[in-house]
Every structure is written in C-alpha cells, then in structure tokens.
C-alpha cells in the first residue's frame, strides 16, 4: 500500500534489550523473560534470527544473536513494532499545532488537537532503516518517525520531508531518548509520548501547511520598480509607507517585518494588493479586505504628516538652541550673589578653616577666606585674630604672639 526507498543509517551500536516473543509475537524486554539462553524463545525484530538471553551475574542483561551476527538497529525496530501496536489499539492521537511561515512571522494553520485514528501500516525491508510506519490521522496518511536523541541530522530530515511531499503524506517526528541501557526506554512513557504529549512531537512535513503556503505564494505579488534609478531600490506601496513627488513607495527595509510582506529581507512579495495579511483573511470577502487597506492607507498618511510636523518642530527647536548657545557664549555669565555673612559667623568659619595650619610655628602668616589674619597666643594657647593680639610675629613665629588679655594679666 505504502512504499519508501529511504534508508538512513548512522552508527548506533548498543546491547540488544528488546526482542520478539516467538509464541505471542509481542515485543518483550530482556527483563520480561525469565529463561536464559535459547530457552527465552525470542527472536530479533530486524532479521528474525534466534536470540540468546544473556542474564549473568557480571554484565548487563541483554539479548544476543545465536549466530553471533549483530543487527545494529534491532532495538529501534522492536520499538517501532511496539509503537505500531500502541497506535493500532488507540482511538485518537494528540497532534501538535501546524505552523505556517509568512515572511518573518509564523501563524498557525491549526491548533494542537486530538486526531481520530484510522488504519496503521507497517513495513520494513531487510537492511532498511527507519521502518515505514504510516498511520491515518484526521484521514491523512502520516508517516511516524521515532527521532532517537541526536540520531537524525538536518539533512536527514530534509530527505524525509522531500519524500513526504512527493508521496502526498504528512511526516511526524516523535522524540525519544537514545537507547543506552535496558531502562533508558520506558514502554509506558513511549505510549504517552505517542498518543499524548505534543511537546515530544513536531512536524517534518505537513500537507495542510504546504497548501496554505501555496495559497500565499499565489496571492503574493513581486512589485515592479517604476521609479527613477536615483531613488534606489523602491517599490510601489499599496499601504502608503512613504511618499515622494506624489508617489507612494517603500524600500526593502520598510517591507521587512511588514505583515503584508511574504518574503524575507531583502526580498519583497506583497500581499497588500489583495488585502491579505493573515490566513484568516482568505475567509473574508475581497471588498472587506480592501476597505481595511484603505483604512490603513489613511492611517499611514496621517502618521507620515505627524512625523513631518514633529521633524520640523525639532529642527526649529535645535536651531533656536544653537543660536541661543552662540549668544550666550559671547557675554559673561553673571555670577550669583553670595548671601551676606555676619561678623560672628565669619569668625567661626575662619577659625575652622585655619585650625590645622596653626599647629606648627612658621614664617608664613595665616589668613582665612575673609582675609583675616590669625595667630596663636603663646601664653593661653588660644587662636585669635590679629585685632585681639597685643604683639606678634618674629623669626619663625609669623603665626605666634601674645593676646591682649594675657598681656594685661602679665603687667599687673
């Protein structure tokens, strides 16, 4: 019914922990069998060869081929069979949202939702990997890829996407941990990842998204460039982004991020000519879409006028500031008058200012900011102004003397 010629193989060696029970045909793990050796009654899911169950005391329990031939993908193919069984038994599967890229934006063609399960198809040719597992979800054939951690490269996903596009089916990847031990894969967790958790799933290819992208491409127009070459790269703009000489235009930088531009910078593919900027607009009559375009044109015209007015206002303000600065620099700036200070306050501030300078005798007289000379009395040790001194000065004693009070007391 379904066929695939793809075979993607990378180094993926590990012990074999999964096989097929010959009696029931069910997928079983090494811990599910109680007998050792050939008595386990199991075979390889990939080649069908007999398994030996090695359950010793030293090494990890695992299966091995009786013929000593190792199938590299036996574990993974066994899990594909287990997933086939899970899908065949369930009624619906949770599917992730379907994104559609519109230029620099992304919209959803469909939200995440439960999809009814149809028929399930499985096939695996000898030496083929991955197996072909196809489930009918929402009535659409969907190939299921078990994306074991760090196994597939970007190039591998591109190959799978190209095949799905050619075949007309969807392709859904389900992320699973890489098989590194017998407990690294939990069957119950696999069941939930397959039927439930949408965070573990992503679309490699969606036919619905492809149809939307095709509709958008058909609606988008690459504008001509009828403007003079002196304008540079410019396109006619239906929504009036910029205006010059009575013509409305836009440059690639204006189109970048515009909701009506389908292309990525510096490309331009305009949807505004048909009034389409989202997927929902396809359901709106063209007359209503063009009314919205006319409203946007008016808003852009008003915005452009306001920007021009604001630019003119700023230019006038800057011109006035420059002129004012020029004349300000031509005349001296008046200094603010200092508040009047009382005589008592001057004496207090003067003492505080020159206190540190009076510690050592010096040949230099000491003046404060008010041009008052200060001296230290050699008798009482107080610091006083020159008006309060009886005598002062001398070699190495420019800031020393005897105050009037001490001089009177000495003469009594």
In a domain, 4, yes or no: no
Q: Are residues 73 and 152 in the same domain?
A: yes
Residue 165 and residue 251 share a domain: no
Q: Are residues 187 and 239 in the same domain?
A: no
Residue 330 to residue 312: CA distance in whole angstroms: 28
Q: 294, 324, 354 — which closes off a domain? A: 324
Is 337 domain-assigned? no
State the total domains in the chain: 3
- Cα–Cα distance, 7 to 194 (Å, whole number): 23
Listed residue (144, 198, 131) closest to 171, CA to CA:
144
Last residue of a domain, which of 147, 177, 211?
211
- With respect to residue 371, please indicate whether it lies within any of the assigned structural domains: yes
Helices (H), 249-357: 252-255, 286-330, 343-354
Q: Which of 324, 355, 390 is the last residue of a domain?
A: 324
389 part of a folded domain:
yes
List of residues 6+ apart from 136 with CB closer than 8 A:
117, 118, 119, 120, 142
- Shared domain for 182 and 77, answered yes or no, is yes
Give the domain range for residue 140.
18-211
* pLDDT tens for the chain, residues 1 to 412: 789 989 998 877 778 888 999 999 999 988 889 898 999 999 999 889 999 999 887 778 889 998 877 788 888 999 999 999 999 999 999 999 999 999 888 999 999 999 999 999 999 988 889 999 999 999 999 999 999 988 899 999 999 999 999 999 999 999 998 887 777 778 888 899 999 988 999 999 999 999 999 999 999 999 888 888 888 899 999 999 999 988 999 999 999 989 999 998 889 999 999 999 899 999 999 999 999 999 999 999 999 899 989 999 999 888 888 877 766 666 555 666 667 777 777 777 777 777 767 766 777 788 887 788 888 888 888 888 888 888 887 777 788 888 888 888 877 6
The pTM assigned to this predicted structure is 0.69
Same domain, yes or no: 152 and 68: yes
- Cross-strand bridge partners of residue 132: 123
Q: Are residues 80 and 156 in the same domain?
A: yes
Instruction: Indicate whether 329 belongs to any domain.
Output: no
> Within this chain, do residues 178 and 244 fall inside the same structural domain, yes or no?
no
The reply to whether 79 falls in a domain is: yes
Domain match, 47 and 164 both: yes
Same domain, 62 and 174: yes
In a shared domain, residues 308 and 259: yes
């Amino acid at each position: 019914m379904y066929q695939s010629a793809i075979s993607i193989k990378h180094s993926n060696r590990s012990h074999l922990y999964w096989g097929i029970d010959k009696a029931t045909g069910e997928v079983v793990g090494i811990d599910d069998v109680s007998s050792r050796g050939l008595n386990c009654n199991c075979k390889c899911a990939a080649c069908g060869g007999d398994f030996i169950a090695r359950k010793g005391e030293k090494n990890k329990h695992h299966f091995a081929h009786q013929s000593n031939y190792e199938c590299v993908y036996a574990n993974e193919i066994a899990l594909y069979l287990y997933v086939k069984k899970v899908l065949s038994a369930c009624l619906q599967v949770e599917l992730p949202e379907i994104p559609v890229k519109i230029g620099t934006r992304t919209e959803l063609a469909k939200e995440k939702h439960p999809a009814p399960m149809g028929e399930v198809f499985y096939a695996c040719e000898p030496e083929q990997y991955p197996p072909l597992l196809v489930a009918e979800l929402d009535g659409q054939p969907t190939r299921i890829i078990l994306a074991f951690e760090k196994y597939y490269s970007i190039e591998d996903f591109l190959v799978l996407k190209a095949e799905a596009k050619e075949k007309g089916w969807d392709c859904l990847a389900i992320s699973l941990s890489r098989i590194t031990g017998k407990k690294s894969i939990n069957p119950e967790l696999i069941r939930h990842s397959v039927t439930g958790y949408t965070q573990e799933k992503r679309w490699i290819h969606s036919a619905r998204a492809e149809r939307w992208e095709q509709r958008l491409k058909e609606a988008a127009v690459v504008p001509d460039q009828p403007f003079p070459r002196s304008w540079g790269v410019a396109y006619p703009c239906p929504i009036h982004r910029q205006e010059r000489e009575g013509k409305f235009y836009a440059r690639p930088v204006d189109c970048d991020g515009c909701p009506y531009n389908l292309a990525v910078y510096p490309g331009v593919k305009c949807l505004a000519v048909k009034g389409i900027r989202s997927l929902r607009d396809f359901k709106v009559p063209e007359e209503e879409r063009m009314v919205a375009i006319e409203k946007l044109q008016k808003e852009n015209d008003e915005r452009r006028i306001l920007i021009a007015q604001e630019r003119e206002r700023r230019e006038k303000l800057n011109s006035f500031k420059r002129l004012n600065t020029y004349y300000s620099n031509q005349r001296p700036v008046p200094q603010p008058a200092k508040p009047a200070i009382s005589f008592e306050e001057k004496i207090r501030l003067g003492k505080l200012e020159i206190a540190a300078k009076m510690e050592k005798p010096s040949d230099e007289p000491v003046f404060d900011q008010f041009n008052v000379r200060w001296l230290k009395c050699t008798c009482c040790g107080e610091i006083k102004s020159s008006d309060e001194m009886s005598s002062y000065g001398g070699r190495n004693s420019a800031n020393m003397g005897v105050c009037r009070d001490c001089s009177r007391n000495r003469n009594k």
